Amino acid sequence: MILFGVLSFEEAIMAIDFNTIALLLGMMIIIATLQLDGFFSLIASQPISCARNQ
């Protein structure tokens, strides 16, 4: 938008919602940590083990 002259640099900065950026960054950090710890593998294995027992 800046490149084509639709917005000035100051208008582009004002259009950014930094609360949303911080929320998304925090969620990505939490998900990456859970993935490294094997949380999603554990959660996926629970229904599989229950299905085999029934």
Is residue 27 within 8 A of residue 19, CB to CB? The reply is: no
Residue spans of the domains in the chain: they are: 9-53
The predicted pLDDT at position 3 comes to 94
The predicted pLDDT at position 54 comes to 62
The predicted pLDDT at position 50 comes to 83
Contacts of 23 (CB under 8 A, 6+ apart): none
- What does the pLDDT look like over 1-54, one tens digit per residue? 999 999 999 999 999 999 999 999 999 999 999 999 999 999 988 888 888 766
Cα 12 to Cα 4, 9, 20, 30, distances in angstroms: 12, 5, 15, 29
The predicted pLDDT at position 39 comes to 94
